Structure formats: structure tokens, C-alpha cells
Structure 1
Amino acid sequence: MKYFPIFLRVAGLRVAVSGGGAAAVAKLRLLLKTEARIEVYAETADPLIASWAAEGRLRLVPRAIGAADLPGLRLVYAANEDAAEDGRVAALAAEAGVPFNIVDNLEASAFLTPALVDRDPLVIAIGTEGAGPVLARKIKALLEERLPAGIGDALRAAKALRPAAEALLPGRARRAFWSAVFDRALAGDAAPGAAPLLDAHLDRAPAPGRVLFVGAGPGDPDELTLRARRALDAADVVIHDRLVPQPILELARREAEIVEAGKTGFGPSTPQDAINRLIVERARAGALVVRLKAGDPGVFGRLDEEIAACEAAGLDWSILPGITAASAAAASLGQSLTRRGRNSELRVITGQDVEGLADHDWAALARPGAVAAIYMGKRAARFIQGRLMMHGADPATPVSVVENAGRPGERIVATRLGAMAADLAAADLRGPAVIMLGLAPRAVAALASAPLSEAAR
């Protein structure tokens, strides 16, 4: 971000506008909604500005702003509609250390004024860093359509109840109460009956800790399920693996504790027993724990071990499935995982297990038309290639290796079984990858008819 969004206190403080024309009027319409002490410096002022001054809503000074006027100002708007004069005002403000905005000159301004949705005291600011003011206005219109006009009244009523709500236990109990209050407010109830609702919540027993095993999908936040998004929004603690990217973690509540419990192939890893203890400790303390796993938690995610730890501790738990890497990779290839006349089964296997290189029913996998998604297979590529060909697999069998499936850095290596190990070594894949045995990218499905490379002969 080039601009850091903040809400600046202006109540009772001086804000100046230099200029008396249409640009000044436009800014003043916004500033007059605040409790700032507004000063307008203009030798000639629009009649509307003069009328506001006559009503006592602002102070009109019939001259240009000078250096002596700057000390103590909170903000300055240069709205003279004259580049030289606006530049002079900006230079004075910069020298005095006062934030300034030159109307319609984004690059020369120290701050910008976003599009605002005003449901006082609820204010929503929408900024595009000047790239799309029309988009900002469209979003503003959408939000204004969705937000009830009386939501500000509901918010003020809720604010008055805050001291009493302190009796609720911090964390989930308090959030559940406020969530219920504002659900009613968003439904259009301007007086959402917060006091009786508080009494009902005070009578409730404290909620026990709970664990949600959530699939983060292949890495694109847009591919999270709605249940996963809601879980992240409600979580007290998020314990995530190494493959969950930052954009998904940023969907968690700002107050949530974020803990990385990653495992790196052939590198530093958090022991599984330590992860189990962490989950149980946080949930026993009353937290809603989200155990966030890339892809689907039930596919090579050690889910059963973590569930067993929860059951041994008497903790409630649920599974929220996600899109696994095999599905994301097949989608990127433009292929289905099963097809009539080709394969009536799909195998999801691993190249590595706790014993090292994993062994499988290679004869079944070597049959014509077989399709398998092989996880953690990069380092086992030569072993897998050898076992399959030893059991009669055709060297021309299509193979696609999808790195970072479903993510911005996705890369597809289209090869054939006979050339797989050499092509993977040449590709130097660094990200997580899934080997799709028996599938070629639809755009290069003719690969199987091409001559074998030297590495495959």
C-alpha cells in the first residue's frame, strides 16, 4: 500500500480550506459532517460558503492563507483551482508539518480523501490510491444499498451497553453477544433489544474449547469454502502448516493468535506430538482452535493423529474439507480425474512415507489408462519411474507435474513417464508439486505421439 488508511480525530480541532470556488464547496460538504473547527481562506467565496459562515458553521477569512495561519492546524485542503497557488499552500503546510491535500492532484498530496459511506458513527472509507475513483463510487453505492439507514442508531445504543457487556467473559462469549446484536442491526432493527439479549448471554455457561480441522485449499483465497472463511473469522487460535499462504492467513481475525506448525520435507519440522499438544492446550483453555491445513485436511494431513489427540482430551471437533491438490491440478490441466473408457478408479498416493520411499501396487498403476495423483513425489520421481516401467508401464504414458497448483506461481511440466525424472530435474521445481500420472494438459494432449527424448530411451 502506498497510503496507510487511518481515521484522524478532528473533533474540536482546526481544519483549513484554501479556496472559495466549486472545489472548495465540494470538500466543505464533506468536512461539515465532522465536528472540526473549519476555516476557509478565500478573497472571493462562493455564496454557499458565505451562507455557511453566516450560520456559524465555519469561519471565513477573506484573504489568502499565510504561514502564520498554519501552526495548530490538523489538516489543510488546497482547493484554489490554481496550480501555482495550490503549490504555495502545499509548500507552507509541508514546512509547518501539517498534512495537506491538493484537490485533484493525487501525486503532490500528502494524503487523500477516500469515498465515504456515512452511517455515523459507522464510517466506511473506500480508497483506490487514485487508480479507480469510479470503482470506489460504485462500491460506495453497493454498500449504501446494503446497510440499513438506522444502523448508526443501533451502534450508538450498543455503545451505551458496553460497560455492562464487560461482565461477559473475554473472547468467544463476548463476541457471540456482539455478533447477535449486530446481526439484528444489519437486518434493519434500529433498536435491537441489546439489554435483554445481554441478560440471555450472561445466563449461558462458558462455551468449551473446540477444534475445527479446516482445509485451506490449494492456496487461492477465492477457493476457500464459506465455512472455512467463517471459521477463520471466528477463530481464537489458528495453527497452520507451512503451505498455507499469507493471503489466506490474513482472513483470520486480527486478534487471533496465529501459530505456524510447519513441516518441511527433508528440512526443519514441528514434531507431530508438539502440534497435538498445542492444539489440545489451546482448546482446553477455552479457545476456538482452527487447525488450518493446505488442500484438504484428510489427504496426507495426519488428520487422524490430531483427531485422536482431541478425543483423548475430551474435546469437540469438526472437519471442514477443502479442495485438495489433485483436484486443483486436474482443473489446471483442463482434465477430469476420471473418464468413461479410460479409468474407472483414481489413486491418490504418496511418494514418501514414514519409512522413506513409499511402495505401492505398481502393477495396477502400470496398466494402460491408469490415473494417479502422486503427492510428495518430486524426490521420489526416479524411483516411481523405475518401479512403473519395471512393471510394464508404457514409457509414453503422459505425466503432468503441477507446481503450486491453483496459486499465482503455478507451473506445469508436461512430460511422459520415460522422461519424467530427467524433466523434473531440469525443471528445478522449488514449490509443492503433485505428479499427475496418466494425464496430459488438454492443450498438449498430443504429447503422447511425439518422439521419446534421449532421457526416455
Structure 2
Amino acid sequence: MKHFPIFLAVEGRRIVVSGGGDAALAKLRLLLKTEGRIAVFAASPAPEIVDWAKTGRLSLTTRPLQRGDAICAALFYGANEDATEDARTAAIARATGALVNIVDNLGDSDFITPAIVDRDPVVVAIGTEGAAPVLARAIKADLEGRLSPVLGTLARIGKTFRHKADALPMGAKRRDFWSAFYFKTGPQVVETAGSAGIIPALDALLDHHLAKGDQIGRVDLVGAGPGDPELLTMKARKALDTADVVIYDRLVAPEILELARREATLLDAGKEGFGPSASQTDINAMIVEHAANGAYVVRLKAGDPTVFGRLDEEIEAIEAAGIAWRIIPGITAASAAVAGIGQSLTKRQRNASVRFLTGHDMKGFAEHDWRTLAREGEVAAIYMGKRSARFIQGRLMMHGAGPATPVTVIENASRPDQRVVSTTLSTLSADLDEANLSGPALMLYGLAPRAAMLAASEFQTQDIAL
């Protein structure tokens, strides 16, 4: 991020514009929406600028900007449509301490003016750092259609009511009140009774929420998917956007955590196979404690929480505490991994079923029906199988699996640093040692990458691909 977005207070402060042509007009139409004191310097101002000056909307000096003209200016716009004159006037403004914007000259500007969706006092600013103005305009057009025209009215009235709403405790209860006002009660009242009915409606809504008393929180057990933020479900995204507390696993991608509400408390559950980890009992207690204190808790698990996610243990603890819960499934790693190699988990006349195994559960591995899995055409998705690769290899070959059976291991499936190791059962363990994978990996037994996907993989380990 090369430009840090802020909202600058300009009420009563000077904003100076040098120029009187089309570029100046475009900036002034936006600046006149502010409460700043606008001063224009132009030898030949457009008629619109002259008219604005006559009605007192801005001050106009019909000559070029000179030294001293930009004193006390908060912002300066160079809109002369002449590079030499813009550079001259910008130097004058900078000498006074003003922030400078030169129209159509990103490199010499101190700030940029974003595309704006105006629902005063609700303002949405959209910037692309000069890279894609067309994209910014498209986003603006989309938001203009989405945001209610009465949103600004509701925000102005809501601002005067905030001191009364402080009677509600901070957190979920207060957010629920404002959410109900802005997205349900407020628009309905404006539509039926006009703005005059909003304050009585706010009083009634507040009384209703105060009467609810203290409430216990709730828990959503959410699948974060394999790592690509674009594979997150819409329901999961909404949960992250409103959660008070997010308790996440080690394998949840940082890009996913960035989507959580800024005010949310993020807690690392830190479970890690074959290494130091938080106990499941401690994680259960953490979830219950925060929900019992009234928080909306999102328990965020990589992939799909219903697949090797110890979901039942957490649900049992939540139910024992009398707390409401729901499951929001995610895309499991097997689906992302098989998509990454251009294959499907099942195929007519090859396999009508697929097995999901976890290499972390060695006792379960030992009791598995290896003879059936070793048959030709069988497919299995093996989670957390890197460390148990030699055991898997031995068991399958012992029960008759062909040495040339394809095995593909996908590290960091769906992420930018995804790696694909294509091998066979006979060389599986040695090839994984040579590949030295460090990230989470899923093993697809019985599947090889399609040739086109293998060639396209930037991270393919060419020297061990068979």
C-alpha cells in the first residue's frame, strides 16, 4: 500500500486550486461538497467558476497563483493543465506546508483524490493508486446502486442518538441494535412515516433491546477452506465480518484472518500435529468461556470442520454449556488439491468411491482395510500424511498394491506457493524426503496430475516428477 487512506478534516480550512479550466472544474465539483474554504486562482476562469464565486461558494482571484497565496492551505490542487505552471505553483504551495495534488501527475503528488460514493455523512472512498481508474469508477457505480439513498439521513439521525445507545453494553448487544436500525427498522420507518418518525422508532427499538437483558453468546464452527481467500464461502465471510472472537487453527491462512472484523479478538488455538499444541480441552474451554460471556465466537478451522476437525468434541463441550451453535462448512483440502492437478476424486469405470484418511491417526491407519485400498483403480485422499509416508507405502505394497501406482502430494493447495510432487508408490518416501516439503500437504493415492496441469505448475519439482 503506497497511499494510506485517511479522511482529512477540512471544515473551515483553506483548500487552494490553481487553474480555471476543465481539470479545475472536475476537482471543484467534488470540493464544493466539503465544508472547506475554497480559493481559486486562475487568469481565465471558466464561467461556472465565476458563477460559484458570485454566489459565495468559493473565492476567486483572476490571476496566476503567487507566493503567499497558499498560506494556511490544508490542500492544494494544481489543475493548470500545463506541466511547467503546475510545477511552479506546487512548489509555492509546498513551501507553506500544504499537501499537494497535481492533476494527472501521480508521481509529483502528495495525495490522490479517490472515487467517492457520497451518502453524507457516510462516505466511501475508492482508490487504485492510479493503476486502474476505470476499475475505481466501476466499483463506485456498483456501490451507488447498492447503498440506500436514505443511508445518509439514517446516519445523521443515528449520530445524535449515540449517547442514548450507550446504555447498551459494548459488543454484540450494541451492534445488534445498530444493525437492526440501519438495515431494517430505519429504512422501513423512512418509507412509511418519513424522517420525522425515526426518533420515536429509535426509542422503541432501544427499549426493546434493553429489555432483552444479558444474553449468552453463540458459536459458529466455520470452515476457512484450503487457504485461497476467494474459496471462502459467503456465509463464512459474513461470520468473520461480525464475530467478537475468532479462535483459529495454525493452518488458517493469514489472508483469511485479515477478513475478520478489525475489533474482533483473534486467538491462536495453535494445534500442530506431532509437535507442541494447545490441548483440545483448553480449546473447548476457550470457546465456552467467551461465548458464555456473551460473545459471538467463530471457531475457525482450515478446510472443512467436518473433515478431521475434531468437531464433535467441541460441539459436545458447547452443548454441555447450553450455548447455541451451528456449522458453516468449507472447501476441504482434498477438493482443492485434486482441482490443482486437474483431476476428479471419482471417475466412471475407475472408482465409484474415494477414501479420506488421516496420517495423524496411526492407530486408525494400522486397522485400515489396506487390502481393499491396494486394488487397482482405488483412490484415497490422505491428510497429514507426510510423516507417515513410509508406513503408508509399506502397508499398501505389503497388501499387493502395484509399485507403479501413481501418488501425488500437493503442498499448500490453492495458495500462491502451491507445490506438486508427482511420484509413484515405490518411490514415494524417497521423493518426499528429496522434496523437503515444509507446508501442509495432502496425498492423493491413485491419481497423477494431468499433463497440462503438471507443465503449468511453477513450483513443480521437476527432478522427481515421474
TM-score range, shorter chain: over 0.9
Tell me which stretches of 4 or more aligned residues in structure 1 moved more than 6 Å. Answer: 354-357
TM-score in terms of structure 2 length: 0.91
Supply the distance in 1 between the matched residues of 2:94 and 2:400 (Cα, whole angstroms).
77
2:202 paired with 1:209? no
Q: CA deviation at 1:354?
A: 7.0
Residue deviations 1:279-322 (CA, integer Å, cap 9, x gap): 12211211111110000112222222222322333322222111
Matches within 5 A, 1:39-438: 39-184=39-184, 189=191, 191=195, 193-353=201-361, 360-438=368-446
Supply the distance in 1 between the matched residues of 2:464 and 2:24 (Cα, whole angstroms).
73
Supply the distance in 2 between the matched residues of 1:351 and 1:358 (Cα, whole angstroms).
10
Matched residue of 2:50: which SS?
A: helix
TM-score in terms of structure 1 length: 0.92
Cα separation, partners in 2 of 1:433 and 1:358, compared to 1, 3 Å: farther
Question: Which is further off, 435-444 or 133-142?
Answer: 435-444
Q: CA deviation at 1:2?
A: 0.9
Cα separation, partners in 2 of 1:362 and 1:444, compared to 1, 3 Å: farther
Cα separation, partners in 2 of 1:371 and 1:96, compared to 1, 3 Å: same
Q: How many residues align?
A: 451
Residue deviations 1:407-435 (CA, integer Å, cap 9, x gap): 22222212111121122222221211100
Equivalent position of 1:449 in the other structure: none
Q: CA deviation at 1:14?
A: 0.7
Cα separation, partners in 2 of 1:359 and 1:63, compared to 1, 3 Å: farther
Supply the distance in 2 between the matched residues of 1:120 and 1:325 (Cα, whole angstroms).
44
Percent of counterpart pairs with the same letter? 60
Residue deviations 1:96-121 (CA, integer Å, cap 9, x gap): 33211001111110000011111211
- In structure 1, what residue type is equivalent to 2:42? A
Supply the distance in 2 between the matched residues of 1:60 and 1:352 (Cα, whole angstroms).
75
Matched residue of 2:353: which SS?
A: coil
Supply the distance in 1 between the matched residues of 2:71 and 2:253 (Cα, whole angstroms).
46
Residue deviations 1:160-183 (CA, integer Å, cap 9, x gap): 222221122211111111111111
Matched residue of 1:337: which SS?
A: coil
Matched residue of 1:161: which SS?
A: helix
- In structure 2, what residue type is equivalent to 1:244? V
- Unpaired segments ≥5 residues, structure 2: 455-462
Equivalent position of 2:7 in the other structure: 7
Residue deviations 1:239-280 (CA, integer Å, cap 9, x gap): 101111122112211111011112234444223232222112
Supply the distance in 2 between the matched residues of 1:325 and 1:263 (Cα, whole angstroms).
17
Q: CA deviation at 1:356?
A: 10
- In structure 2, what residue type is equivalent to 1:134? V
- Unpaired segments ≥5 residues, structure 1: 447-453
- In structure 2, what residue type is equivalent to 1:156? R
Question: Which is further off, 203-212 or 383-392?
Answer: 203-212
- In structure 1, what residue type is equivalent to 2:221? F
Supply the distance in 2 between the matched residues of 1:317 and 1:120 (Cα, whole angstroms).
38
Equivalent position of 1:451 in the other structure: none
